[in-house]
Chain A
C-alpha cells in the first residue's frame, strides 16, 4: 500500500489497496475479492483439472447460471441437450469445488451483473472479475470490476490473484440536468458515439459530475455496463449516500456497526479534489437526446431525430468502408430518417437494462397500448421478476402482446436459443449490435427501455417523448 501523500483518484485508491507484488516492469499482482463464474467457465475448469489444482478460495467464488438458461420454460429435460450440457457442466464444477451456485431455480438467480449488486456481493472498494466483458457493470459501486478470459479465470481459480498492467485513467464528467425521458442508456450511447468504440482503450473510466451524482444505482449500473463498448478497461462511480442506501440490508453486505465502519472507508474512496487524470472529457447533459444505433458497432449511434449517415461524407476510407458494410448488412439507405426505420421485434432485457427501473420505464410507455411486433421481456433476476409482478408490470407487458419470461441473458447473445430470426430488425435494450449477435443475419438497434417500448408501440424507431405526454 502506498503511503504517498500525492492526490489519488478513486481508481488509484482501489488499485493500490490490492497490489500484492509490483514488478520493476510495472506488472502488478492484484488480489481479487470476488470471482463470478457462469456456464462459459468450463474451459477454465478444464485447465484446473489438467493441472490437478484446487480452487484457492471457494468462499470468494460464486457461480451463476445465466448465459444458457432457458427463459420460456425452466425444465431442463425439455431443452436442447447441448444447451442443457452447458448448465450441467457448471453444476458439476460448482459441486466438485464446493462453491455457492445460483442455479436457475434459486430465488436469487439471474444475470450475474444484476445479481451481484442485488445480493450485496458487489461492494465499493472491491476487485471483482468474471469471464464476461460486462463485469465493468459493478464499477457503479466504486468497485474495480473487469472482464477476463478463460486463462485468466483459471489463474484466479488457482491463486485468487491476477497479473495486470496499470491502465491510464480517463474521467468523463457529465454536468447539468437531463431532459425528461433521457436515461443512462442515452448518456452511455452518446459517450460511445463521441469517443468511438475504442475511445477509452487502455483506460479505466471514472464517471463524475452532477448528472452522474443524480443517477440512481440502477442508472449507474447501466452506464458502467457500457464502458467496455467504448473500449474502457472498466468504469467506476465514486460511492456516496445513494450507494450506501442501496447496500443497507443486502444479504451478503456488512451489517450494523460493521456496515457503518465500512461506509466510512467507502466514502473516503472518492477521488481527491486535486487528483490528476491522464485524460478528461466533459459532456453537457442537456444536449443528450434519445439515442439509437443504426449500424454494427455501438459507436454507430445517433439522436432519434437524425438520419442514417452517408458513407460519401465519411472522414476517412476506413470509416466510409465501415458505413457501407454496415448499411448493406442492416438494410438501410444513406439519408434514411431513423424514425422511418421499421422494426420486427423487441427485446427488453440484458445486464444493461433489465432492472426494476428499466421495466417501469418500458411499462410507462406500454400501459394501455398494444405492441405492433412480437417481443420478449426478460427481467434481470428472479427478484426483479417478483417485484415487477407485485407492481403489475407483467400484466402491462402481456396485455400489450409481449412475452413475459424468466431471467437470463436470453436474446442479448442468443446462447439459450432466444434468437432474432435472420433479416429481422430488433429494437433491443442490450449492449452490442455486432453483425449476427442476436442470431445469424439478425439486425440489432440498441436503445433505452423507454425507446424500445415506443418502438414496439409504433413498429418503427420512435422518439419516446411524445408517447410520454400525460403519463407519469
Chain B
C-alpha cells in the first residue's frame, strides 16, 4: 500500500451532507472487475445525466477541478454500506484524501486500508474550506505528519486515529502485522475451546 506523508495538489469541493456509498458507487457497477479501474463510476449518477453526458454544474466536471487529489465535503461522508468499492472509485479516480467533519465508520476503515486518508475537520473549518474553494481556491497541502491542511491563507488541523495515522505514514498492511502473532492466535484458540465449548458450529441433524 502506498504511504501517505505530505500531499500538495488540487482540491475539489463537494458541498453535500451525507454523501453515501450508493452515491459514491451505484450498485450496478459493482459486478465489474477491479482491473478495469472504478474511477469512471465515482459519483456516477451525480456526475452524468441519464444519457451519460457530464453535468456541467457538478464540481468534478469543472475544468479547474480536473486532476484533483483532495475532496472536501460535509458531515457523514461515506455513510451507508461496507462496500470497499466506494473507496476503489475514489482512489482509481485519483483522490488520495477526503476532508470532512465526519465519516461512516466502515468507510473510514476501508479508506485507510487502501491508502486513502480520511481527514476529520471541525464543522467550522470544513465550511471555511468549502467557502474558500467556492471563491476559486485550488491548491491544497495535506500534511499527515503535522495533521495540518493549508488552502490559500487558511490553515487548520485535522484529526485522525493515531493507529490509522501510523499505518498510512508507513503504508503498512494489517496482514503482515497479524502473521507475527501466529502463536498468540493458536494459544487463544486452544484456551477458548475449553472456555466456550459451545462456540463451534454444531452439526445439523442428518448431516
Q: Which residues of A contact B (CB under 8 A)?
A: 1, 17, 20-21, 25-27, 29, 31, 33-34, 40, 43, 46, 51, 59-60, 68, 82-83, 85-86, 119-121, 123, 125-126, 131-133, 135, 146-152, 154-155, 158-161, 163, 165, 197-198, 201-202, 231, 233, 251-255, 258-259, 261-262, 265, 297, 318-319, 321-322, 325, 413-415, 422, 432, 434-437, 440-441
Contact = CB atoms under 8 A, between A and B. Distances in A.
Given A83-B31, A436-B22, A148 B202 contact: no
Contacts of A318: 17, 74-75, 123
21 contacts: A1-B195, A29-B181, A40-B83, A43-B85, A60-B201, A85-B31, A133-B80, A135-B82, A147-B81, A148-B82, A148-B106, A149-B87, A150-B84, A155-B178, A159-B185, A201-B76, A231-B76, A251-B205, A415-B27, A435-B22, A436-B22
A133 B197 contact: no
Contact of A163 (B17, B83, B178): B178
B135 to A, nearest CB: 16
Contacts of B204: 119, 251-252
Given A27-B163, A201-B104, A415-B31, 9 more contacts: A86-B31, A125-B196, A149-B106, A149-B113, A163-B177, A231-B104, A254-B198, A254-B202, A440-B50
Interface string B74-98: 1110011111110100000000000
Contacts of A82: 31
Contact of A198 (B75, B175, B200): B75
B185 to A, nearest CB: 6
Nearest to B164: A165
Q: Name which of B15, B18, B179, B200 has the most chain A CB atoms within 10 A of its CB.
A: B18
Contact of B163 (A25, A60, A155, A251): A25
B139 interface: no
B44 to A, nearest CB: 9
Interface residues of B, number: 62
Interface in B129-180: 161-163, 166, 174-175, 177-179
Nearest to A299: B18
A197 B18 contact: yes
B74 to A, nearest CB: 6
Contact of A20 (B110, B174, B177, B188): B188
B20 interface: yes
B128 interface: no
A151 B17 contact: no
